[in-house]
C-alpha cells in the first residue's frame, strides 16, 4: 500500500511527510520510503504553538483557528510531496502535540493521562480524498497507558536483529529509547518478542533549540551540526546537578514533553549557567552534553544491559557534537545513525505513523503495553473516510 505518514514533533521545526510503500503481514511489516519532505510552519503558527506550549493562555475561538491552521499546514505538506493523491491508499497523521499529561497517582488515586494533538484528520481526509487515520495516542491513554512513546513497536519491526540486542534512540525535541532484544523479524508466524522496552529519556533538542534561538536573538533556530557547542566546554558539575531532576530517576513507563522540559526549565538553567560563569558557547555545550548524559543515565539505570549497538534517529543524529558525546559516554557500544541499518533518520517517525495507519485498517493493535503501561494492546487512531 502507498501510505503518507505525517508528524510534527516537539521541536516544532516543521511537518515531516513520508510517502511510504508499506507491505507485509502483521508485525512482519516492511516499509520503503519513496519520498520524504519537511514542510516548515509559518513563523506565526510556529510561535503560537511554542507560546501555548509555554503555558500562554488562549481563547477557545483562537484555539479553533490554530487547529484549522495546523491542519492546513499538514495538507500543504502532503501537497508538497508532489504526488498523485489518487494513487495514495491511506494517510496516517500524528498531528502536532500541544499538550501531554502523563498518567499519575494523585492522593492514592490513579489519574489517566491526557494528550492533545492538533491538525484535524477530518479536514485532511476531505482535502485529499484519502482515508486518514489521526489521534493515535488517545486509545492507549484510555487504557491507562502513557500514550507514548509509540515508535518502539515500529523499531522492533524495522530494526530488530536476530543475533543481537539493540538500543534505538530518537533525539527529537524530546528523546526516547527503544530496547530491542534479539528477534528474527522476517518470519510472519512469529509473534513479537518479550522484553521490548521503551520510554522518554528526557530533553532531546528542545533545550538546545531554546538556547540557540534566545542567544542568537532569533537569528538561528538550532545548533547546526553542533558547531556552537564545539566552541564551548561542557560543565559536568552543572550536568550532575541537573540530573537530579526526579524525571530521570523515576522508573519507566514514562513520557514527557515541553510541559517539563520547555522554555521555563531552559531559562532557569541559563540563569544557573551564568551564575557559574559559563559563556554562551559553554552553555550550549553543557545543554548538549546534558542530553547525552540523560540518555546514558537512563540506559545505566533502566536497560537490562547496554547493547553493543546503539542507533540514533531524529534531528539530533545530525548534531556531531552530541553524537561524539554519546559515543564517549557509552564507550563499549557503537553509536551510529539508524541509516547504518538502512532506515532514514529524518523520516523514521513519519514512516512509523504510515505503518501505524496500515495496522489500524488491518485491525492490528499498534500499542505495546510493555512500553506504555496500557492495560492491553488496542487499535490506535481515529479513522476518517473522505
Chain contacts with ligand ADP (rule: CB under 6 A)? 9-11, 13, 172-173, 205, 208-209, 222-226, 314-316, 318-319, 349
How far is it, in rounded angstroms, from Cα 168 to Cα 79? 31
Q: What are the C-alpha distances in Å from 266 to residues 201, 215, 258?
A: 17, 12, 10
122 or 259: CB nearest ligand ADP: 259
Q: Report whether 12 belongs to an annotated binding site.
A: yes
Tell me how far, at minimum, the Cβ of 204 lies from Mg ion, in Å. 10
Minimum distance between the CB of residue 16 and Mg ion, rounded to whole angstroms?
A: 6
Determine contact, residues 192/163, Cβ cutoff 8 Å: no
Nearer to ligand ADP, 210 or 299 (CB): 210
- Nearer of residues 13 and 155 to ligand ADP, judged by Cβ: 13
Q: Is 335 annotated as a binding residue?
A: no
Q: How far is the CB of 50 from ligand ADP (least distance, A)?
A: 12
Read off the C-alpha cell for 172.
Answer: 527529537
Q: How many residues bind Mg ion (CB under 5 A)?
A: 3
- Per partner kind, with CB cut-offs from 5 to 8 A, the member of Mg ion, ligand ADP, none near residue 205 is ligand ADP
Nearer to ligand ADP, 46 or 245 (CB): 46
Annotated ligand binding at 342? The verdict is: no
SS3 content of the chain, % helix, strand, coil (to 5): 40, 25, 35
Our CB check for ligand ADP shows the closer of 96 and 132 to be 96
Residue 45 annotated in ligand binding: no
Q: Is residue 48 helix, strand or coil?
A: helix
Establish if 346 lies at the interface with Mg ion (CB under 5 A). no
Q: How far apart are CA 161 and CA 292, in angstroms?
A: 25
Which of the ranges 9-17, 203-211, 241-249, 250-258 carries the binding residues for Mg ion, by CB under 5 A? 9-17
| Distance from C-alpha of 45 to C-alpha of 41, rounded to nearest angstrom | 6
Q: Edge to edge, what strands does the sheet with 174-180 contain?
A: 197-203, 174-180, 166-171, 309-313, 334-337
Let me know if 316 is exposed, middle or buried by CB neighbors in 10 A (0-12, 13-18, 19+).
buried
Residue 222 binds which one of Mg ion, ligand ADP, none, with CB within 5 to 8 A depending on kind? ligand ADP
Residue 15 labeled ligand binder: yes
Three-class SS of residue 358?
Answer: helix
Residue set of the binding site for ATP: 9-16
Could you list the residues that contact Mg ion (CB under 5 A)?
Answer: 9, 11, 13
Amino acid at each position: 500500500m502507498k501510505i503518507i505518514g505525517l508528524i510534527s514533533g516537539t521541536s516544532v521545526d516543521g511537518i515531516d511527510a513520508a510517502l511510504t510503500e508499506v507491505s507485509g503481514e502483521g508485525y512482519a511489516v516492511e516499509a520503503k520510503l519513496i519520498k520524504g519532505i519537511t514542510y516548515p510552519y509559518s513563523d506565526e503558527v510556529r510561535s503560537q504553538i511554542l507560546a501555548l506550549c509555554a503555558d500562554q493562555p488562549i481563547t477557545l475561538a483562537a484555539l479553533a483557528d490554530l487547529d484549522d491552521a495546523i491542519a492546513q499546514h499538514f495538507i500543504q505538506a502532503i501537497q508538497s510531496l508532489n504526488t498523485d493523491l489518487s494513487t495514495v491508499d491511506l494517510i496516517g497523521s500524528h498531528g502536532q502535540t500541544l499538550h501531554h499529561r502523563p498518567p499519575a497517582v494523585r492522593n492514592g488515586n490513579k489519574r489517566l493521562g491526557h494528550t492533545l494533538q492538533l491538525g484535524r484528520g477530518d479536514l485532511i481526509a476531505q482535502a485529499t480524498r484519502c482515508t486518514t487515520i489521526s489521534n493515535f495516542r488517545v486509545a492507549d491513554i484510555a487504557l491507562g497507558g502513557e500514550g507514548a512513546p509509540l515508535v518502539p513497536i515500529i523499531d522492533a519491526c524495522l530494526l530488530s536483529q536476530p543475533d543481537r540486542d539493540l538500543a534505538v534512540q530518537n533525539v527529537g525535541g524530546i528523546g526516547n529509547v527503544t530496547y530491542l532484544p534479539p528477534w528474527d523479524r522476517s518470519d510472519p508466524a512469529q509473534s513479537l518478542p518479550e522484553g521490548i522496552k521503551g520510554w522518554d529519556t528526557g530533553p532531546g533538542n528542545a533545550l538546545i533549540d531554546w538556547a540557540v534561538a534566545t542567544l542568537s536573538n532569533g537569528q538561528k533556530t538550532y545548533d547546526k551540526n553542533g558547531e556552537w557547542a564545539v566552541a564551548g566546554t561542557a560543565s559536568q558539575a552543572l550536568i550532575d546537578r541537573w540530573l537530579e531532576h526526579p524525571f530521570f530517576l523515576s522508573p519507566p513507563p514514562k513520557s514527557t514533553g515541553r510541559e517539563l522540559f520547555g522554555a521555563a526549565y531552559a531559562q532557569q538553567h541559563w540563569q544557573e549557567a551564568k551564575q557559574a560563569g559559563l559563556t554562551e558557547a559553554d552553555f550550549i555545550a553543557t545543554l548538549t552534553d546534558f542530553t547525552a548524559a540523560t540518555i546514558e543515565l537512563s540506559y545505566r539505570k533502566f536497560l537490562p544491559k547496554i547493547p553493543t549497538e546503539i542507533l540514533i534517529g531524529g534531528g539530533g543524529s545530525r548534531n556531531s557534537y552530541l553524537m561524539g558525546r554519546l559515543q564517549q559516554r557509552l564507550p563499549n557500544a557503537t553509536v551510529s545513525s539508524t541509516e547504518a541499518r538502512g532506515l532514514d533518520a529524518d523520516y523514521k517517525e513519519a514512516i512509523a505513523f504510515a505503518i501505524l495507519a496500515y495496522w489500524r485498517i488491518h485491525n492490528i493493535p499498534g500499542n505495546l503495553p510493555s512500553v506504555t503501561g496500557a492495560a492491553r494492546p488496542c487499535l490506535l487512531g481515529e479513522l476518517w473516510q473522505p
